[in-house]
Amino acid sequence: NIDLLKAEIVRQGLTISKVAAAIGVSDATLYSRFSKASGKPFSLELASKLSQYLGLSPDTAFNIFLKNN
């Protein structure tokens, strides 16, 4: 659920660009995953990096990256 991920980034006072830099990916890579039109899923590695950086609980990470909403 991309909306939950976006909300968490905003809640922490971050931007997609800041998160991308912190986890070592390009802005373009992260923005493309946030675009519903691209249809590109988050890789396990990228989901793991985001979860760790944002301090997501296992339940929250599951709801964002794995649960089909």
In this predicted structure, what is the pLDDT of residue 54?
96
Judge whether 46 and 25 are in contact, CB under 8 Å: yes
pLDDT in 10s for each residue of the chain, 69 residues: 888 999 999 999 999 999 999 999 999 989 888 886 667 788 899 999 999 999 999 999 999 888 765
Judge whether 34 and 6 are in contact, CB under 8 Å: yes
